[in-house]
Amino acid sequence: MTQRDRDRLVALKKAKKGLITQREGAAEIGQSERHIRRLLLKLRADGDAAVIHQLRGRPSNRKLDDKVKSTAIRILSRKVYAGFGPTLAAEYLADRHQIQAGRETVRKWMIEGKLWRAKKQRIDKVHQVANDYTIQFDNKIYQIARTDVRAGLRGSQVRVEVRLDDSLAVRFRNHYLTIAECHGRSPSEAPVKVVRKPSAPRPKSQWMKNFRFTSQEKTALSVIPSASPASPARGNR
How many CB atoms within 10 Å of residue 105? 18
Cβ distance 43 to 50 under 8 Å? Answer: yes
Instruction: Identify which has the larger pLDDT, 216 or 143.
Output: 143
Write down the pLDDT at residue 190: 47
> Is the predicted pLDDT of residue 61 greater than 70, yes or no?
yes
DSSP-assigned beta bridge partners for residue 180: 143
Q: Please give the distance of CA 148 from its chain centroid, rounded to a whole number.
A: 26
How far is residue 170's CA from residue 159's CA, in Å, rounded to a whole number? 6
How far is residue 116's CA from residue 164's CA, in Å, rounded to a whole number? 7
| pLDDT class of 132 with cuts at 50, 70, 90 | confident
Q: How far is CA 97 from CA 76, 89, 101, 194, in A?
A: 11, 11, 11, 68
> Is the predicted pLDDT of residue 32 greater than 80, yes or no?
yes
What's the mean pLDDT in 90-115? 90
Q: Which helix (H) or strand (E) holds 165?
A: none
Across 32-36, 140-144, 201-205, least confident range:
201-205
Give the neighbor-by-neighbor strand order of the sheet with 168-172. 124-128, 157-162, 168-172, 175-177
| pLDDT class of 187 with cuts at 50, 70, 90 | low
- Give the pLDDT confidence of 200-215 residue by residue, as tens digits: 787 877 776 776 767 7
Instruction: Identify which has the larger pLDDT, 155 or 224.
Output: 155
First to last CA, the chain: 105
What's the mean pLDDT in 12-20? 87
Write down the pLDDT at residue 237: 45
